[in-house]
Homo-oligomer: A and B are copies of this chain.
């Protein structure tokens, strides 16, 4: 019941400050989290995320999703409400959620489906070895896979040795 009022509150809030008003009416400002964790600090682009990952020596989690995909939405609900996962992401990871594919083919080792999670080591190596439980979509996760995701995050935290 409380959640249903969030868009209304945000709308009321923006209407107070916005000067330009679209013909179709006032809009709710888009957030970078897109609902996947409002308390996390999300990178905007893959370039930005890689820069943060390298400079802070933290692994990067890239999450591909779509707003009109019911699997993405169902997964988002449990993902955003999982305290353990949110805490570890906040403290130990760089996070990026994307609705459009990048030009880097390494982020789609077995195709461009959603929802899909890839981990990237600070050495800029995509951890294709860290995958979920579905043979035909190795980087897909479902709402029941949060435990597996958490243990995969622990794997990603064990950084690859730099060869430099």
Contacts and interface: CB of A to CB of B under 8 A. Distances in A.
A29 B30 contact: no
A100 B2 contact: no
Given A20-B90, A21-B39, A33 B32 contact: no
A77 to B, nearest CB: 12
A87 B21 CA distance: 8
A159 interface: no
Interface string A26-42: 11011111000111011
Contacts of A81: 19
A154 interface: no
A164 interface: no
A5 to B, nearest CB: 9
Given A32-B31, A38-B14, A90 B22 contact: yes
Interface of A: 2-3, 6, 9-10, 13-14, 16-22, 26-27, 29-33, 37-39, 41-42, 44-48, 51, 80-81, 83, 86-87, 90, 98-103
